[in-house]
A and B are shown apart, each in its own frame.
Chain A
Amino acid sequence: MREGKIAVIGDKDLILAFKAISMEVFCADTKEEGEKLVRSLAKNYSVIFITENLAEQMDGLLAKYKTKAYPAIIPIPASGKSNGYGMRGIKADVERAIGTDILFNKED
């Protein structure tokens, strides 16, 4: 049993909200900044939340962390409506495992 910390990466306005509930926040506006942050945070943090639009740009890097148990890098919606990136992630997982998407098709 180890202890871990939560980090949030996002743009400056949003991450303040997470700071209020005592997560540690890091601000990144561009893809490069975000990737740099993810690389350095991956060692020390067990859960990293990234805003969707940022995560979408860093898809390649995030895929690398998928195979390990820690850190868990999770996309979260920015303010307003979610752009569906997180849901697409689940869909991709289901497709990968089963070959076809049976989870989301049901509703259509």
Chain B
Amino acid sequence: MAGRLQVNPTRMELKRLKTRLKTAERGHKLLKDKSDEMIRRFMEYAKENKRLREQVEKELSSALTTFIVAKAVSDDAVVQEAVAMPSKTLKLEMDSQNVMSVVVPVIKVQQSSSQDKYPYSFSSVTAELDSSIEVMGGLLESMVKLAEIEKTCNMLAIEIEKNRRRVNALEYVMIPQLEETIKFITMKLDENERSNIVRLVKVKSLIKKEG
């Protein structure tokens, strides 16, 4: 088991340890509450993450498959040229948010609005390319959202793990250790008290006998 701390059995030490125990217990309770709340939040994010990932994976796979087909049916150079100059510029607005004292990213897409969806003229490329690029364009927002949520999930998971270690260290090491030391000091002090009383009684009886 935890064993006791190496301290001198004095009244001062006892008082100090009692305060430490109080702090440790309070800290343990707070951390445990934090852990509960973090797990609740994490589950919300994880569910959202799963839903979003399923959706993005499904749509992206099909869009990419269409793209590959489009690439196969038309000339390589034509496709290269068609996508070389995107019609929109893409900017991300990055911010951060505090979720249970974990700083997580908040990412927003800013697309410069441009009238045409397609960065090329229709004459040279196939319809497959059109449709795949349209789907991809629509997916952009979900992909960025997925990035944000997945990152949040990652970070929360790591933080929850760390926090659980702290809670366990307090619960199973620190608090039992303190309790045991406090018990030890109290017993020691009581023992001293008793031996003192015995000594006094003895001395008194000695004095009586001599006098």
Residues of A within 8 A of B (CB): 1-6, 13-14, 16-23, 46-47, 49, 66-67, 69-70, 72, 74, 76-82, 86-87, 89-90, 93-94, 96-98, 103-104
Contact = CB atoms under 8 A, between A and B. Distances in A.
A70 B133 contact: no
Minimum-distance CB pairs A-B, first 3 = A22-B86, A4-B92, A72-B151
Interface of B: 38-39, 42-43, 46-47, 49-50, 53-54, 56-57, 60-61, 63-65, 67-68, 71, 79-80, 82-84, 86-96, 103-105, 107, 111, 119, 132-133, 136-137, 140, 143-144, 146-148, 150-151, 153-158, 160-161
Contact of B68 (A13, A49, A77): A13
B132 A97 contact: no
Contact of A86 (B47, B57, B133): B57
A10 to B, nearest CB: 10
B90 A1 contact: no
Nearest to B144: A47
Contacts of A2: 93-95
Given A17-B64, A17-B132, A72-B150, A67 B155 contact: yes
B90 A17 contact: no
A18 B49 CA distance: 22
Interface SS, B side: helix
Given A3-B92, A20-B83, A80-B65, 6 more contacts: A1-B95, A16-B71, A21-B137, A47-B147, A82-B57, A96-B161
Contacts, number: 160
Contacts of B61: 77-82
A90 B146 CA distance: 12
- The A contact surface, by secondary structure, is mixed
B63 A17 contact: yes
Contacts of A22: 86-90, 111
A19 B89 CA distance: 11
B53 A87 contact: yes
A74 B155 CA distance: 13
A64 B119 CA distance: 37
Given A21-B133, A70-B105, A93-B154, A6 B96 contact: no
